[in-house]
Every structure is written in C-alpha cells, then in structure tokens.
A and B are shown apart, each in its own frame.
Chain A
C-alpha cells in the first residue's frame, strides 16, 4: 500500500475526477442515438459509492458534489436534483464507514445496495413531484438493479487498478492520524 501522504491523497482525488470525466466522455460518444430497451448501470454513482465505502478521505464531499453537478448539466438531467440525492446517499454511507471496517464484503454490498435502492426511490418520487417531464420508471428500475450488480466488479477494479481498498488496521496518514 502506498503511504497516505497529502500528495497521495490529492493524487487519488485527481484520479477520481479523471475517472468520472472519462466515464462521462464514454457516455457522450455519439454511438447510442436510437432509444434502447435497456440501460447501462450508473457507473459514476457506483464508483463513487465504492470509493466512499473504502476510502472516504479520497472522495471528499465537495468533489462528489462538483462531479455530479457536471454530470447533471451534461446529461440533460434537472441540475441539482440528482446531485443533491447522490450527496445524501454518499453521506449516509460515509457515516457508516467505521462500521464497515471489520465486516465482510457481503455486508458492505448489502449496505450499499440498500442505500442505492433508497436513492432511486427518492429520485423517482422527487421526479414525479417536481420535474415537469416524465422519466421512464422501468428504465430507472433497471438501472438501479444493474448499478447494484456491477458494484462488486467496480470494487474489485478499484482495488486492482487504483489500489483503493480499506485502510489496513493501524495504517496512518501523514499527520499520524488513524485511517
């Protein structure tokens, strides 16, 4: 494991932002101009959940807010709604990261799944009440399921490629604080 110095933390934050923009870029490629009956999982939400669950210090709340607001603006979603709910979801997860430390992956997955389900329920309700145009609920439900299913793969990928996994017991940051 790399040392948890300030440079490392900022580097990883930058990596989070770059990954998010890369996902956005791939989504924006003009390859899907016909409506399809299926959807891709929400990769940005998923990777954010992985990072918050594993290393909350590498995905600070302001960066998540900025990332989701940019996504909202570029993907023609009502600006702010999706981001506000995503922020609430990640904060709920963040306050529980200390409980996740010594548990199995199954527990982590279950917790994240519960939060994602709540996120999509809240989104559907808020959308129906507040947004003047319709969103396909079946597609939204499908996206929720796919996002939950892709979580283990994203977690494995984050651990393998970005070395984002739970801090080892006793690992400390530059100031000697426990992680």
Chain B
C-alpha cells in the first residue's frame, strides 16, 4: 500500500505489465482465431454490426439526408441548363422507350412461342443503405435487410440500373454488400457484342480494371459488360457497365450503377439451380431381370 502511494503513475510495474501483456496476447489470439476460423469470427462480426449499426439508425438517416440535401442544393445553382439538358435527354429517352416497348412485345411473343420458363432470379428484395464500410481501405455498404427477409450470402445486388456487388455477411436485420470496387471483389463477366469473357477485378478504384481478358484484340471502349454467370455464383446477363480504356492502355469498366448515391439496393433472389453433377447412366433394364431373361433364353 505504502509503495503503491509512492509510485502512483508507475506504468512499468510488473503487475501492470502482465495485464498489458495479457491484453495484447488476447487481441493477437482474436486475430489468430480469425485467421484459423474466419467464418465463425466473421459471423460474430456480422452479429455485432447487426446490433450496433441499426441502433444508430435514428441519427444516421437524418444526417445522411441532410448531407444529400446539401449536395443537391449545390446543383440548384445551374438549374436552368440542367433543365434543358434533361429535356433533351427525355426526348431521346422517349425514342428509346418506344424501341424498348416494341422489343419487349416481340420478346414476349418469342418466349411464348418457345415455351421458355423464365429464371426466378427476377424477384428481388429492396433494402435501404444504412452505413458504408467506414474505412477507405474497404468498399462495402450495410443494408437494412437480413436473414429475417430471407437474404442469403452470395446474392447479387443492384441499384436501379446495374450490378453493385454481392451479399457477404448476413445478420438478422442487416447484411453487408461487398461492392465491385472492393479489392477483394472478382466478378466473371461477358463483354458484348464480342462475347469475350473476362474478370472485373476490384482494386479500390472507382473504375475497376478488366482482368484475364480472353481476347484483348476484339474488345473496344464502349462495349457493354454483363455478368456471365460463370462459377454459378451470380445470375448471368446483369448489366455491369461499359468498357473504357485508361491512359495507360488498360481496359477498365465504367460501372453503370450510381456509386455516388447508393440509397436503395435491390437484392436479387437467386434460388439455387439444381446442378447436374453426374454423367448420364445408360438406360437399361434392371440387372437381375437381364440375368433372368438370359436364363429364359438358354432354357428356350
């Protein structure tokens, strides 16, 4: 007690050093556990996020709204030219809409003729973005739908137009969407019209590069990029973006989804497709029947 009083601020005492060492070892153990059994620790992380973030939703939503309002307000300054621009675009859109309607009708007729059964991927759940990754090193968002709403790991997520990312980590009421721009994101795609396959490899940049391109010579800037469905993780045919060429000659993708403003995301239900995992067997009568009939033959 007496010695304790004399050295109150002794941050090198043996007991304290032990406590600190134990704490550091504990943290390293958590890290080691994460390296060994990542899914379990990630599930714990999802659960903690699931508790923590929605409890701040009441404050997050208005502040985010205000920030968006402020950025909208800035755009009011050039409202006249914007209006004219929009009118011009609307004119073009009308033409496109007409074309799309005609194509849709034609498509419906053809599908009907062929008795095509549509993929159930076209049902979706829409969620609101609650939070982003909070760190400049990871690109992900948290949305307010989770296990409760039937969300599963690996499902594709879109905004109104294009693919945004995939679900990775589902809590009871929230789930995390790893964006295509995240350094850990890899997406197999098809580039149209050439049909060349490639991988969109996120690298923490706004326009992710195309990797492992099958045939570099046939793709051009302006080609459209769709998910290819390879690896059976994603449904195929979802629009991702447009090919561009960066000044260093590398092909990149300009994502069509509006990453500046991720507010509502739709999660596509992809029901597991039954896999055909055996080779076809020969269609024969059962074996004992074969031997019986052989006996019949020899008797006869």
Contact = CB atoms under 8 A, between A and B. Distances in A.
A139 B134 CA distance: 14
A139 B34 contact: no
Contacts, number: 158
B21 to A, nearest CB: 10
Contact of B141 (A30, A69, A136): A30
B121 interface: no
A130 B139 contact: no
Nearest to B183: A134
Contacts of A62: 19, 23
B133 A76 contact: yes
A78 B206 contact: no
Contact of A31 (B34, B48, B49, B64): B64
Nearest to A57: B9
A12 interface: no
Contact of B23 (A32, A87, A143): A87
A175 B19 CA distance: 23
A122 B136 CA distance: 19
B192 interface: no
Interface residues of B, number: 57
B182 to A, nearest CB: 9
Interface string B21-41: 001101111111111000001
B203 to A, nearest CB: 8
B49 A73 contact: yes
Interface string A157-179: 00000000000000001011111
A18 interface: no
B45 interface: yes
Nearest to B47: A73
Contacts of B11: 56, 91, 94-95, 97
B292 interface: no
Which 6 residue pairs of A and B lie closest in terms of their CB atoms, listed nearest first? A80-B31, A177-B8, A80-B30, A84-B27, A27-B134, A28-B131
22 contacts: A28-B142, A30-B142, A33-B132, A35-B206, A56-B9, A62-B23, A73-B44, A73-B49, A74-B134, A75-B138, A77-B138, A78-B31, A78-B35, A79-B31, A80-B29, A81-B31, A84-B24, A84-B28, A87-B27, A173-B8, A178-B8, A179-B9
Interface of B: 5, 8-9, 11-12, 19-20, 23-24, 26-35, 41, 44-45, 48-49, 52-53, 56, 59-60, 63-64, 67, 129-142, 179, 181, 183-184, 204-206, 259-262
Interface of A: 24-25, 27-36, 38-40, 56-57, 61-62, 65, 69-70, 73-81, 83-84, 87-88, 91, 94-95, 97-98, 130, 133-136, 139-140, 143, 173, 175-179
